Structures are given as C-alpha cells and as structure tokens.
Chains A and B, each alone.
Chain A
C-alpha cells in the first residue's frame, strides 16, 4: 500500500494533447489502472481503444469511480482544471502543467480551503509507487526499484538522478513524490514527510530541496519534532546568485532563508543527513542504512 497511490488507484487523465497522451499511455504501460480520460470534444470515444473518454470530469467520476485525477492541460487552463477536479470530489489531484500563473494558484488554493481534495503540484512530475506499479505522472518507471526508501522532492529530473543513484546501490523505493517547483503548490514537504513517517512500507526518507522560499525550514522543524525515521537531504542551488530565478518559479534567492547554505544548516540541526553534493545522495543513504 503506497502513501497516496497503489493498486486501488483509479486514474482519470485530463488534457489528452500530445504530451498528455504520451504520458497517459506510459502510466498505463507501467501498470496503472486508468479508468477515464477527459476531453471537451472527444466524449464518447476511447483512449487506446479501451479507456472511455468523457466531456467533463464530473461525468467521468460518476461513471467510473475514478479516485485520482491527473492534469496535463496547458498552463493557462490548469487552474480551471484543478477546480473542476476538486468540484468533482476527486480525493487526489495531480497537476503536471508548468507555468501556471501565480495569481491563479493563490486563488485556487484559497478556493480549496476546507474541501477534501489534496493537490499535488503544479509544475511537478507526479508520483509513483513501484510496489503496486502505480504511476500518476511522468516519472520514468524503468529507473525505480521496489524497496523501503521514500523520496520527496521539489524537482523532476533531479529526482530521477537521486532514484537512479539509489537503485544502482541496490536501495529500492517505497513511494517517490515530486511536490513541484512553483512557489505556490498544494502538497508540501511536511505533508509528505508526515505520510512517510506513518507509512509501514517506508524505513528511511530522501528529501531533495532547493534554493528559494522557506519550505525546507518548515520541513526541518517538522522533522525535528515528528520524524523518527532517518532522513537524507540534499539542497541544490549552492552556486546560484541572489535575485535570479533558476528556472523554477520558486527557485530564487530573496533573502538569507532562501540560501542553500542556510537550508543545509537548518536541516543538519534537525538531524537530517545532508549529502555534500547531489552526486552522493544514494551513497549517503547507503551510509545511513549501514550498507
């Protein structure tokens, strides 16, 4: 049983354009149970000749019992898609779309207050649970191996790098979660850390942060007070200059707290085993696990 997705996952995919189609197809190929697609003009047709496509999310949820929504719609319409999925009552909404306007997200998050849906992303690679071959997003399934280390990260491809390092050292993963690189996002480090702490499948945690914001500090405080499992950390952006946005909208040094060095210091104080370089995340975990 994964922390957010597993064999009970019934996936709905919204945004079946070029990338969405390719990625939905690879989620299915990995083993995920995709039960519905949503496309405003392709209702009544089938995705890959098997999965029914509906015009609206509510229709799709009613007809198929979908319980996880995945969004690939262009950034300009992503907030609308999130709200549509929240209104349809999907318990987990995963938004991959990159470049969603911040003001859209701030309104969407305010709208979601008090509602039961959990949002992952936007601008994230989604999540994957190799144990039950449940993939919701774009993390390449081939690099994962089943095991007992949970991975949570603000990045996409850097997460893959870390997973490869773990896999090559024979350290498998329980669930791997990308929370996204935007300053305003749904699920946070703290949320995922709490789930890993309570997860019987997870013995240790890898947490990958970066410059910008104070989310790593909040994570450090939570780890200090509530996490008993060993945490290996990495913070990238040590060579980034202040005031410049490093690709991710959230990756900008706007004060002391946003600096890599400051985040590393705070995490170390909280007992996190911080890797000296992103090249040795796997090695650090091996050391911590005594392998």
Chain B
C-alpha cells in the first residue's frame, strides 16, 4: 500500500527525522495561508501516489502567497499524468506547501527488503535528487549497500559508515547517523516495503533533512498497523483493481489486452495470461481468485472482468483443490446472469468436482466452450477471437 508524501512526512517526524516546515492544503486559499505562515517563498507539491511529479508540472516553486494559491488552483481537482501513471493520470485532491530550503548537497537513502540477502537493505548515494535507476545504470559504484540485521536492526556504526561514504560533512555525520538509524526503524517497526528519501539534503545552515519522502507498506502486515491501514487512498488506484482488492481478489489490469482471464493460483494465472499470446492475443488482466473462493466471490470476479471495456472473450482456468469447481461454476453462471454478458467463455476445469462444474455450465446454456488443458485453451481461444472480430466487422 502506498501513501502520500504529506503522510510519509508525518511518520518521519514522529520518528524524530528532520523535515522542512510544511502543511497540507485542499483549496487554493489554504495554500495561500500556508505560504503566508511559511514566509512567502514556498514549494507547492501535488499529492499523488506516483513518481515523476516534477517533470509533469506537479511541483512548483513560487515567490509569494498569491503565486502559491495560483499553483495550487492549477493542480487541485485535476488529474496529474506522469510517466508512472496510466494515460488518464491520477486525481490531485491535496497539495503540500513547504518552506524552501537552502541546499548545500543532495544525497539519497532508501531501504527495501533484499530477498537474496534475506535482510532489509539500506541503499545510499552521494547522487541525490535524480532518479536512482539512472545512478545505478551510469555510476553503480556511487551506490552504497549495507544490509541491516533482521533481528538487531541497523547498528549505529553501519549508519555512520553509510553517512561518511555518501559524503555527509564530518560535523554532521552524527545527525545523519541518527536519521539513517531511525529510517531503518520506520522500515522494520511499521512493516514497510520501501522507505525512500530523495533527496536527503544537507542545508547551508548545517542540518540534515528529508526533503521528499516515499513510504510503501506491505499489504500482508497491515492487520497489525491499523493506523497505517487508514492512510490508504483508494482514489489513487485503478477503479477495477480497487474493487477487486475490496473483494479479496488479486487482480491487475493490463493495458492493450482483449482476453479476460479468471484463474486460481498466481502461477497458473500467469501461465494462462502467457497462453493468450500463443493464441495471437494479449491478456486484459491478471486475476487470481485464490484458494477457497465462494460462489459470490467468483461472480464478482466475473463482473470485474466483464466491466473492463477492453475484454472481448474470457478465459477461465480453474484447478480445483480447496476450490471446488461446482461452486466456481455456479459463481460464473451467477456473474453471467447479473451482467447479462454475451461474451464467449473458454473454460478449463480440472480437479475437485470438475465434472459437476462443467455440467452446471452446460445446463445453464451459456456461451461456453470447454477445453481440457492449456494447449487446447490456446487453439480454442484463437478460433473464438477470430469469430468475435468477424462479428464485429459485420455489425
């Protein structure tokens, strides 16, 4: 789960990490007032769950409260399109208004989980303020990596080494050490999946502070962080993805596909997506209904697939285990009836109660072609899609 920069700032502050003075505004007037309070010259930043705001016009430096109000008015209520968002962009409902900082040096520090090291990994660099992917590509030797001990956390001497390595002036190393140690505490204590400060700045008046903040949390651990879970902003997510998430389904919308996929199990779901390529098409989504899905959950999954305007045919691939195919079949019938869709379905059902499931689909008189395995699914899909596009030309 992602959160906004203004929320991440608050978390950092609560861990004793220095951040510039700032406030959050929902209207141009609020932005103007904040600029007055902060001395006039401020930066106005659109609050969206996407990177690349600067280049997209979502970050503006202004010289007066009126300019701050104007900048806020230009962002609030619009959709910001960055290289990380979908074509339609994401809505801006709030802006962060922050004091300007006199920067002596821009650095970078982030923490993620490293599966190979089996530990939280601190990555830091003397090259801040630019995309870290660029630094990694152009000058990988400028990135310092230090693993934190999973049980002890990041030791102070490690944090000190990192600070020195990325060029924090000697008189500020102590300050930076505290900041880096606390960042690691945020990561470990709050079950974050990413904590990224870019840039981490050294100011001309001798302070080390987080000028920007990005924190993402692990969904699987939100159950033990109720206060973090409340920071979510569903509006920033794709509408169908959010609906699926609320229904407990793992769903990812894919651009440019026309085959809706419904599968149980993530691996089989990816295999089923890949099969559509063999059939000369592209998948419109990833959808894993999970292990013990009930009838209504399957129906909802089908509704989500059908409500994606790009979908022309549906490929269902279920391997009954804990999931019972007869239950799934009833869910599919329910979903087809409630949406009234005429879309062709290609269905493979194996495992627990597969024959009963296929019988239920046959009895319901739906537009279903049943197949035995993935290979047959691909060939059948090719035929079905061929028929769909020729129908489309006729109508």
* Chain A residues proximal to chain B, CB less than 8 Å: 19, 22-23, 75-76, 98-104, 106-107, 109-111, 125, 138, 140, 143, 153-161, 164-165, 168, 181, 183-184, 208, 210-211, 213-215, 234, 236-241, 244-251, 277-280
Contact = CB atoms under 8 A, between A and B. Distances in A.
A87 B160 CA distance: 36
B274 A239 contact: yes
Per DSSP, chain B at the interface is mixed
A156 B267 contact: yes
21 contacts: A23-B322, A99-B220, A101-B221, A103-B191, A107-B150, A109-B118, A140-B320, A143-B351, A156-B268, A161-B319, A164-B373, A165-B373, A214-B115, A239-B254, A239-B277, A240-B270, A244-B286, A277-B275, A277-B277, A278-B275, A279-B374
A160 B375 contact: no
B278 interface: yes
A250 to B, nearest CB: 7
Nearest to A237: B270
A221 to B, nearest CB: 13
B115 A183 contact: yes
B223 interface: yes
Given A110-B149, A278-B275, A19 B291 contact: yes
Contacts of A156: 265, 267-268, 321
Contact of A109 (B150, B252, B319): B150
Chain B, interface size: which category? 35 or more
Given A158-B268, A236-B271, A250 B220 contact: no
B322 A22 contact: yes
A218 B379 CA distance: 35
Nearest to A110: B150
Contact of A183 (B113, B223, B286, B288): B113
B174 interface: no
Contacts of B374: 161, 277-279
Interface in B71-98: none
Contacts of A157: 263-265, 267-268, 319, 321
Contacts of B283: 239
Given A239-B276, A279-B275, A102 B113 contact: yes
A218 B156 CA distance: 32
B277 A246 contact: no
Contacts of B40: none
A251 B350 contact: no
A103 B273 contact: no
The 4 closest A-B pairs by CB, nearest first: A155-B267, A247-B266, A157-B265, A158-B267
